[in-house]
Amino acid sequence: MFIVKNDNTDAAFNLALEETLLREYAEDDVFMLWQNRRAVIVGKNQNTVEEIDREYAEENGIQVVRRLTGGGAVYHDLGNLNFTFIKRNAAGHFLDFDLFNKPVIELLAESGVAGVTSQRNDILAGGRKISGGAQTVYRGAVLHHGTLMFNVDVGVLERVLKPHPLKIKSKAVRSVASRVDNLSRLAAVDIPAFREKAERRIAEGAGGAKTLDASRGAAYDGAMALKAEKYDTFEWNYGFSPDYEYRASAYGEAGLVEVWMKVGGGRIGGVKFRGDFTGLEPVSGLEHALAGASLTPASLRETLAGIDLSRYIARLSADALAALLTGRFLK
């Protein structure tokens, strides 16, 4: 077994590191504890725009990253400690949450917290969720990761995991709201002490373990490369979302502008504008020009730079239209 030492708090790096450890260290079990600075981690099968308040996330420097496993969207900050188990030759234990929750529950008990696994496979204490988990399988290995809420800013959690009231229809898996609680309210337990104890006990339970420093070497290099090509990209974090239909509106100098849009693979499949705005030419020209455009901020800016918006919707700026199309700054 490897005990991975990882002090990086970049969510994109940490999720890339998990995948690197899963795929490249095929002979060894892995245990890793890690933290993210403020971030929303979206389940693999979710529609990101349905799960978050994108405007709030961007204004408050909250990363949005899709993970490799299913399940619902979660909020992380430095008051949260994340754990990862990778168990080889264990495909028969996929969805066996008790197997991985058990050592965590035992560690919590030593700190005076009575945890139990819920019917939805979360860890509860006092009837409230203190930990959620998710899994995936790769070549017979099971990756199980989860959260432990020590002192998470619940106000930010509730705010960022509450999307604007957009009218969106998709086939994505929606998150289910849970009543959550912090361990700090239940017992005198802090992250550094728990982290040290957990690494020691997991190593003892495995009959010894090697240490892997994730701040350098092959694991670091592999994670950095995967972060750049996948976990830091719009195509993965937003574009990987299932196809969906989107409706939004805004009122400003241009008047009322309403948009109906179909999105697939992060690109506009079709779009219609309606409202009390005015223009020199039929708005169908704008609709045609936007078909197929990528909804990445940079690509959308480039597309809009080549369109004279005033001919279709007078007094509508490119920034305002980009915000409307991407679900930001809606009033």
| Domains of the chain in sequence order | 2-238 (3.30.930.10), 244-326 (3.30.390.50)
pLDDT above 90: residue 119: no
Share of the chain above pLDDT 70, in %: 94
Q: How confident is the model at residue 165 (pLDDT cuts 50, 70, 90)?
A: low
Per residue in 13-42, pLDDT tens? 999 999 999 999 877 999 999 999 999 999
Task: Give, for 14, the enclosing helix (H) or strand (E).
Answer: helix 11-24
- How many angstroms separate the CA atoms of 247 and 18, rounded? 36
Mean pLDDT computed over 48-76: 91
Pick from 2-11, 180-189, 309-318 the range whose average pLDDT is largest.
2-11
Pick from 79, 77, 52, 80: which is nearest to 66 by CA?
A: 52
pLDDT at position 331: 31
How far apart are the C-alpha atoms of 202 and 245, rounded to whole Å? 46
Give me the count of residues in the chain.
Answer: 331
Of 71, 41, 267, 56, the residue nearest 172 (C-alpha): 71
Instruction: Report the pLDDT value the prediction gives residue 51, as an integer from 0 to 100.
Output: 86
Contacts of 86 (CB under 8 A, 6+ apart): 21, 22, 25, 29, 30, 31, 141, 142, 143, 144
* Calpha distance 293→300 (Å, rounded): 7
CA 306, 311, 315 angle in degrees (round to 5)?
Answer: 95
Say whether pLDDT at 249 is over 80: yes
